[in-house]
Amino acid sequence: MKGGKKQLQKLEARVRELEGEVDAEQRRSADAIKGVRKYERRVKELTYQTEEDKKNVNRLQDLVDKLQLKVKAYKRQAEEAEEQANTHLSRYRKVQHELEEALERADISESQVNKLRAKSHEIGSKKAKESAFLKERKFRFGEDLTAADKAAKAKL
């Protein structure tokens, strides 16, 4: 039985060895299951994050579209304002030119009025002198006014 005992010891050692391998394999299996669960959670997190990112991208794209529409509207308004400003500037320049012409005509008219006043003053001075002369003549000489003198007096 000596040989049987040895063989039994060998078999028991082999059983312990196999039990150790089974334990090690069970630990590896448990670790693998934990790893799979960990990666499944990570996949779920990434899937959720991807869905959120897609929603955000869609929201941002909508916002970009709305902003582009606003930019187009503002650009159109700016172009209209520029056209209106150009129209007003053109009108301003036209009115300014007309004003300058009117001022020039007013200066010419004023100059003519001043010339006429000066001429009128000269004529008035001559008539006043003639009238004074006639009065003095009548006073000194007692002469009556002649027909020409009367006509000159009537013009005054």
**pLDDT 10s digits, 4-35:** 888 999 999 999 999 999 999 999 999 999 99
User: Where along the chain do its domains lie?
Assistant: 2-153
Tell me the C-alpha distance between 2 and 8, whole Å: 10
Distance separating the N- and C-terminal Cα atoms of the chain: 180
pLDDT digits (tens, 9 = 90+) for 47-85: 999 999 999 999 999 999 999 999 999 999 999 999 999
89 token code pair: 């500037």
pLDDT digits (tens, 9 = 90+) for 92-128: 999 999 999 999 999 999 999 999 888 887 787 777 6
Q: Output the pTM of the full model.
A: 0.46
